[in-house]
Amino acid sequence: MTTPSETTLSLLQLQQTVQRMVTNHATQNVWVTAELSDVAERGGHCYMELIQKDDDGITTVAKARATIWANNWPRIRTQFMQSTGQRFATGLKVMVRVSVSYHPVYGMNMVISAVNPDYTMGDMLRRRREILMRLHNEGILEMNRSLEFPCPTLRIAVISAPEAAGYGDFMHQLYGNGYNLRFNTKLYPAIMQGEKAASSVIAALDRIASDGDSWDCVVIIRGGGSTSDLSSFENYELASNVAQFPLPIIVGIGHERDITVLDYVACQRVKTPTAAAEFLLNLACEELDRLRTLTSDILRVANECISGAREQLAYFGGQLPVAPVGTIHQAERRLNAATLSLATICPRRIQPLHARIELYGNAITTAVTAAIDRHRSRLETIKQVLDAISPEATLRRGYSITSCRGKIITDPASVHHGDEIVTQFASGTIQSTVR
């Protein structure tokens, strides 16, 4: 129940009150920074949402509908494209001049009358610097840039959209060369614009890496036409994959004026897809020129060696007719000289040797005779001693030797009744039987 003191408003009256409160001087022609979302063009107008996220970049803390009417949209679109190389598209950070309007039916709306492209460029550059600084701190910024292209560089893995004009330009330039150079290429298809571009290119790099040593380098090219959605390549994960890729990478994304973070981490940055093909052709031509120079050097050295050999052959050919005769005469002279030397040297050296031999012979004869005399006297002494102690000498002195079964008897108990014993004397023996 209402009381007389309470005021009752219709919905329209309330909306009009809100309209008067919202649409005032403070909300007209105000510069606002926000992120674009759900950008769409309909009926010549451009509709979108302006959003603001918290510091973590995830949670939306503010949102408002915005419109660029058809009378301003072509101008703003063209100026923004010329200044940034980007379409006025979802995901971009922008600074826009807005006037707040409020409609009782459609609610609040922000009408955009101008855009500051410098803010968008500044935000892109800031994000790029953050990515590059992170790569630098991780120690991977220069990894791919430090790689060298192999010689020759003829096996090319290409990452591009299959139907892109830039891919066609690249292939035509590469295979239509006038140097009769033959390349081996393979397309690894990828989405080259939009939100899925970064993950698609990363997947293509993974497929190339899985092929092992099949390729000399990688070319990442973006097709011709619009340069929009380059913000997809301002991506840390993609930049990190490119920086750490084990093969040299050539990046040719967009047009000549377009630059992304990949241009700072790839081994080689070129302006366009066609320029990528020209770069590869220049590498191949340099290698071809080097091979031609080596071929020329080898041919020159070979000719010099052949010329020298021919000169030597001609010299020896001239020497062959007279060389045997000269060699024989030289040998005869050496033989005669040796004969004269022997005739002179031998008598002079042999005579002292004869004297020494004669002296040694006399000394040997004297020494041998003395040694024989000494041994003969010693033998006589030994003979006399042996004769004195021999059994025969003992028997001659009247002794006898008795034996039984070949053994000398020294103890009577060693023989028994009936044993045959032999007694030997100096002049004979006697056989006896023990009783």
- pLDDT per residue over 318-333, tens digit each? 766 666 667 777 878 8
Distances (CA, A) of 48 to 36, 80, 360: 7, 16, 134
Tokens of 394: 């003992």
d(CA 242, CA 342): 90
CA-CA distance, 276 to 248, in Å (whole number)? 13
Contact 300, 193 (CB under 8 A): no
Are the C-beta atoms of residues 59 and 103 closer than 8 Å to each other? no
Q: Which of 104, 101, 99, 100 is nearest to 16 (CA)?
A: 104
Q: Identify which of 216, 261, 268, 256 has the alpha carbon closest to the alpha carbon of residue 238.
A: 261
Query: Would you state the pLDDT for residue 20?
Result: 86
Is the separation of the CB atoms in 261 and 128 below 8 Å?
A: yes
CB 170 within 8 A of CB 156: no
Backbone angles phi, psi at 370, to 5 degrees: -65, -40
Q: What is the structure's pLDDT at 73?
A: 96
Residue intervals of the chain classified under CATH 3.40.50.2300 are 133-287
Architecture of domain 11-115: Beta Barrel (2.40)
As a whole number of angstroms, the distance between CA 298 and CA 244 comes to: 40
Convert 114-137 to b/e letters by CB count within 10 Å (16 or more is b). Answer: ebbbebbeebbeebbeebbeebee
- What does the pLDDT read at residue 307? 81
- Please report the pLDDT score of residue 275 as a whole number: 92
Whole-angstrom distance between the N-terminal and C-terminal Cα of the chain?
181
Q: Cα–Cα distances in Å, from 381 out to 4, 367, 395?
A: 180, 22, 22
Instruction: Compute the CA torsion angle 250, 256, 257, 262 (nearest 10 deg).
Output: -10
Task: Give yes or no for a contact between 61 and 54, defined as CB atoms under 8 angstroms apart.
Answer: yes
Residues of CATH 2.40.50.140 domain(s) within the chain?
A: 11-115
What is residue 179's DSSP assignment? T
Contact 48, 40 (CB under 8 A): yes
The whole-angstrom separation of Cα 224 and Cα 170 is 11
**What pTM, to 2 d.p., does this model score?**
0.52
The burial class, CB within 10 Å (0-12 / 13-18 / 19+), for 201 is buried
Low-confidence ranges of the chain (pLDDT < 50): 225-228
pLDDT at 227: 45
pLDDT at residue 226 in the model:
47
Say how far apart CA 16 and CA 255 lie, in whole Å: 51
Is residue 414 within 8 Å of residue 405, measured between CB atoms? no
Find the helix or strand (DSSP H, E) in which 159 lies: strand 155-160
Largest CA distance in the chain: 193
Q: Are 190 and 159 in contact (CB under 8 A)?
A: yes
Contact between 45 and 70 (Cβ < 8 Å): yes
133-287 placed in CATH 3.40.50.2300:
yes
Q: Tell me which H or E stretch contains 376.
A: helix 323-389
* Residue corresponding to tokens 């690249």: 170
